[in-house]
C-alpha cells in the first residue's frame, strides 16, 4: 500500500495582505508531491486551527509579513494544544527578526524560515521533520 502524501496547510494569519510568498511555498509543496490546503488571506488563528483539524493535516506552514508574528504564531500552537491536536507540527516564515526566533521556537514553532531561504530547503526540511499523523 502506498504511503499517504503529507498534508500541509498554508496559512496567512492576521491582517497581512501580501500572499505572494505563501502562494510560492504552496506551489513548491504541491510540486514536491504534498497535498496542500491554502486558507487564503486574513485568517484568524482560530480559523487556521479549525481548518487544520478539519483537513487532518500533518503540519501548518504560517506565512507572515505584518510584524504580528510574536502574537499570532504562538496563538496557533496554543489553540492546537487546547484542541488536543498539538501533534500537528507548526512552522513559519516571512519577515521575522532573528532576535524573535528563539521566543517563537519556545512557544512551539518548530522552525522559522526568513527571506532568502530557498523553497528547496524548506521542502527538504518538511520531508525530514514532518511525518504523517496516525
| Helix, coil or strand: residue 7 | strand
Instruction: Enumerate the β-bridge partners of residue 35.
Output: 7
Q: How many CA atoms lie within 13 A of 31 on its CB side?
A: 11
Looking at residue 17, what is its pLDDT?
86
Query: Which CATH superfamily is 7-129 part of?
Result: Cobalamin-binding domain (3.40.50.280)
- pLDDT, residue 77, reads 98
Q: What is the pLDDT of residue 1?
A: 53
Tell me the per-residue pLDDT of 47-104, one tens digit each, with 9 for 90 and over: 999 999 999 999 999 999 989 999 999 999 999 999 999 999 999 999 999 999 999 9
Spatial separation of the C-alpha atoms in residues 51 and 65, rounded to whole Å:
21
Degrees, nearest 5: CA angle 86-91-93: 155
Per the CB < 8 A criterion, the answer to whether 32 and 24 are in contact is no
CA distance 70 to 34: 28
> Smallest Cα–Cα separation from 94: which of 74, 67, 72, 121?
67
Tens-place pLDDT, residues 11-34: 999 988 889 999 999 999 999 999
Where does residue 88 rank: exposed (0-12), middle (13-18), buried (19+ CB within 10 A)?
buried
Cell representation of residue 95: 519577515
Q: Where are the domains of the chain?
A: 7-129
- Strands 112-113 and 89-94 come out as parallel
Q: Is the pLDDT of residue 2 over 70?
A: no
Amino acid at each position: 500500500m502506498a504511503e499517504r502524501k503529507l498534508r500541509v496547510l498554508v496559512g496567512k494569519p492576521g491582517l497581512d495582505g501580501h500572499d505572494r510568498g505563501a502562494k510560492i511555498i504552496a506551489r513548491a509543496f504541491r510540486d514536491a508531491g504534498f497535498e496542500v490546503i491554502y486558507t487564503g488571506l486574513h485568517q484568524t488563528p482560530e480559523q487556521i486551527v479549525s481548518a487544520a483539524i478539519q483537513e487532518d493535516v500533518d503540519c501548518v506552514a504560517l506565512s507572515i509579513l505584518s510584524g504580528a508574528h510574536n502574537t499570532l504564531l504562538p496563538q496557533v500552537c496554543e489553540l492546537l494544544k487546547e484542541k488536543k491536536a498539538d501533534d500537528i507540527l507548526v512552522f513559519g516564515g516571512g519577515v521575522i527578526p532573528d532576535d524573535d526566533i528563539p521566543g517563537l521556537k519556545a512557544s512551539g514553532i518548530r522552525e522559522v524560515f526568513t527571506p532568502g531561504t530557498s523553497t528547496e530547503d524548506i521542502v527538504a526540511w518538511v520531508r525530514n521533520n514532518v511525518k504523517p499523523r496516525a
